[in-house]
């Protein structure tokens, strides 16, 4: 039996705060028009991958930006929206008092907290927030309860995606901190390996996407 089940992990489409470079965490802004196009392109890119698996279970973060993405994917794949289990454990890392700020604003307005994060990027939790270590533990807890012989399709957030990538590949802390994947990239994770499911430029252009997308980084 596999140590970990196979996952197909998808990040939500671009949001208004993604464009502005603001940390969202548990707060939320809706998808942009470009974000809707991204979600449609991801759905088309993954359609054959989804139909090629016989045993699938569908999951989504309950945050609205993830559910908006999930609704688009469900329509494209002809999967009833109700088949996606909304799991609070899949919500984005909580950034506490930092939510809504850009990295530059945190550095300027909360310099002591910013320096603490720089000094201990894995153990530090901002006020009312969550550390990277705590996020990783949360993802490990979720994985421990999954059926091993099922492929799990997960619509979630960049922080959760990176934690899951690190768990599956046993990546070092340094490698994980350097992760930088485009917003429209999904990942097939098997125990010990990852495959990035990029979207060909032609599909992005066909849907009118403004590139492969970006991510907000501290």
Place of tokens 């548990």: 26
- Secondary structure letter of residue 152 according to DSSP: E
pLDDT at 109: 97
Q: What pLDDT is attached to residue 2?
A: 59
Could you give phi then psi for residue 3, rounded to 5 degrees? Answer: -65, -40
| Per-domain residue ranges of the chain | 7-206
Which pLDDT belongs to residue 213? 85
**Separation of alpha carbons 208 and 61, rounded Å:** 26
- CATH for 7-206 (3.40.1350.10, 3.10.28.10, 3.40.50.1240, 3.60.10.10): 3.40.50.1240
What is the C-alpha separation between 161 and 173, in angstroms, rounded?
15
What is the pLDDT, as a whole number, of residue 218? 72
User: Is 128 labeled as catalytic in the residue annotation?
Assistant: no
Identify the CA nearest to 86 among candidates 105, 60, 112: 60
Rounded to an integer, what distance in angstroms lies between the CA atom of residue 28 and that of residue 63?
A: 7
Looking at 92, 99, 130, 181, which residue is catalytic?
92
Structure tokens at 3: 């140590």
Q: 129-149: buried (b, 16+ CB within 10 Å) or exposed (e) per residue?
A: bbbbbebbebbeebbeeeeee
Residue-level pLDDT at 191: 83
81: which DSSP letter?
A: G
Instruction: Give Cβ neighbours of residue 120 (< 8 Å, ≥ 6 apart).
Output: none
What per-residue confidence (pLDDT) applies to 56? 98
**92 carries an active-site annotation:** yes
Q: Which candidate in 12, 14, 152, 181 is catalytic?
A: 12
Q: Could you give the CA distance from residue 218 to residue 215 in angstroms, rounded to a whole number?
A: 10
Pairing of strands 56-60, 84-86: parallel
Among 138, 114, 110, 136, which Cα is nearest to 124's? Answer: 114
Angle among Cα 153, 4, 188 to the nearest 5 degrees reads 40
Own/partner pairs for 170-174, CB < 8 Å, 24+ apart?
Answer: 173/121, 173/122
Written as tens digits, the pLDDT of the chain (218 aa) is 458 999 999 999 999 999 999 999 999 999 999 999 999 999 999 999 999 988 999 999 999 999 999 999 999 999 999 999 999 999 999 999 999 999 999 999 999 999 999 999 999 999 999 999 999 999 999 999 999 999 999 999 999 999 999 999 999 999 999 998 889 989 999 988 999 999 999 999 999 998 888 777 77
- 203, 187, 215, 184: which is closest to 38 by C-alpha? 184
pLDDT of residue 212: 87
């Amino acid at each position: 039996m596999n140590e970990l089940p196979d996952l197909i992990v998808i990040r939500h489409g671009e949001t208004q705060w993604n464009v502005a470079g603001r940390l969202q965490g548990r707060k939320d802004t809706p998808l942009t028009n470009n974000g809707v196009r991204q979600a449609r392109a991801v759905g088309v890119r993954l359609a054959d991958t989804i139909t090629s698996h016989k045993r699938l279970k569908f999951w989504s973060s309950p945050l609205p930006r993830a559910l908006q993405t999930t609704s688009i994917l469900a329509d494209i794949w002809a999967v009833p929206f109700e088949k996606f289990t909304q799991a609070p454990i899949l919500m984005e890392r909580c950034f506490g008092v930092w939510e809504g700020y850009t990295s530059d604003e945190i550095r300027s307005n909360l310099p002591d907290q910013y320096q603490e994060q720089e000094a201990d990027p894995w153990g530090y939790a901002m006020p009312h927030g969550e550390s990277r270590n705590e996020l990783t533990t949360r993802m490990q807890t979720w994985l421990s309860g999954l059926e091993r012989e099922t492929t799990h399709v997960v619509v979630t957030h960049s922080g959760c995606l990176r934690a899951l990538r690190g768990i599956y590949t046993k990546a070092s802390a340094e490698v994980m901190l350097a992760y930088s994947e485009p917003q429209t990239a999904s990942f097939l994770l098997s125990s010990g390996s990852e495959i990035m499911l990029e979207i060909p430029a032609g599909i992005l252009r066909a849907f009118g996407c403004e590139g492969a997308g970006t991510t907000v980084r501290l």
